[in-house]
């Protein structure tokens, strides 16, 4: 077990920037073969993996910390770069449910001018692969990975949504689920909404609010075994007595 954690480069010069005054005290075991890095380089290395758990070498052992605790800011939109219109704007706090646990993150939203302001925060989140728990002023979001992962689990195991949320909380803090926020209610809502929107997409339907009411049966799956006139029914079936049709 110690072989995995042992690294003689810990405490030496950073392996990326090679600045002597920046000791390499941070290591991410979720990144594959990432060397020990200094604080700034570990933040730079996680621009596209902002929900990883980081370990810091303190008091002769590794301790788990979050990227947010060392000042990491998630930039929404612009492929992870800060919004050019958001330089003077403050960041917002979000709770994110990720396959690796539940994270509190500071995020800088996109402030670029757009025509449609309604639901803008929610759409900015979703374009960054974070499904909002609500479309009005969202403060909690789930990665598409955690939603798809749970969907597959519901098809292959007997795990419940509340059991899955407890797992995510224990995944965040191994010893106690109470160290992270309970976001089960938000997860239930978001998962149902996500599944409904997925159904709409697969059946090429618009959300009801955009296109009036959904037609009856528009989300039904075609059943090849059911009687289909002209396909698997004997010609002249209409003229037969009802009990023999």
> Using CB under 5 A as the criterion, which residues of the chain lie in contact with Zn ion when the complex forms?
14, 16-17, 22, 28, 30-31, 38, 41, 49, 52, 83, 110, 112
Separation CA 94–CA 181 (nearest Å) = 12
CB of 78 to Zn ion, least distance (A): 6
CB of 112 to Zn ion, least distance (A): 3
Nearer to Zn ion by Cβ, of 17 and 73: the residue is: 17
Buried b or exposed e, range 173-197, using 16+ CB within 10 angstroms: eeeebeebeebbebbeebbebbeee
Neighbours of 241 (CB within 10 A): 6
Nearer to Zn ion by Cβ, of 25 and 165: the residue is: 25
Nearer to Zn ion by Cβ, of 54 and 200: the residue is: 54
Buried b or exposed e, range 125-137, using 16+ CB within 10 angstroms: bbebebbbbeeee
CB of 15 to Zn ion, least distance (A): 7
CB of 229 to Zn ion, least distance (A): 54
Q: How far is CA 49 from the centre of its chain?
A: 11
CB of 191 to Zn ion, least distance (A): 26
Nearer to Zn ion by Cβ, of 80 and 207: the residue is: 80
Nearer to Zn ion by Cβ, of 72 and 164: the residue is: 72
DSSP secondary structure string for all residues of 170-196? HHHSSS-GGGS---HHHHHHHHHHHHH
């Amino acid at each position: 077990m110690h072989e995995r954690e042992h690294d003689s480069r810990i405490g030496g010069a950073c392996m990326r920037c090679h600045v002597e005054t920046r000791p390499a005290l941070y290591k991410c075991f979720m990144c594959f073969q990432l060397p020990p890095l200094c604080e700034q380089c570990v933040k730079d290395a996680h621009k596209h993996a902002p929900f990883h758990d980081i370990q810091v070498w303190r008091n002769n052992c590794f301790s788990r910390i979050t990227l947010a605790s060392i000042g990491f800011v998630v930039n929404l939109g612009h492929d992870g770069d800060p919004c050019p219109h958001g330089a003077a704007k403050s960041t917002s706090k979000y709770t994110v449910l990720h396959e690796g646990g539940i994270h509190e993150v500071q995020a800088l939203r996109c402030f670029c001018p757009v025509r449609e302001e309604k639901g803008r925060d929610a759409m900015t989140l979703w374009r960054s692969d974070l499904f909002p728990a609500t479309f009005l002023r969202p403060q909690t979001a789930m990665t598409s990975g955690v939603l798809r992962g749970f969907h597959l689990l519901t098809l292959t195991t007997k795990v419940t949504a509340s059991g899955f949320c407890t797992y995510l909380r224990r995944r965040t803090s191994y010893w106690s689920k109470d160290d992270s926020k309970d976001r089960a209610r938000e997860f239930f809502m978001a998962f149902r909404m996500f599944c409904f929107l997925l159904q709409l997409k697969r059946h090429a339907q618009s959300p009801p609010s955009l296109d009036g009411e959904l037609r009856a049966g528009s989300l039904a799956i075609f059943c090849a075994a059911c009687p289909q006139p002209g396909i698997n029914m004997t010609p002249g079936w209409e003229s037969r007595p009802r009990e023999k049709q």
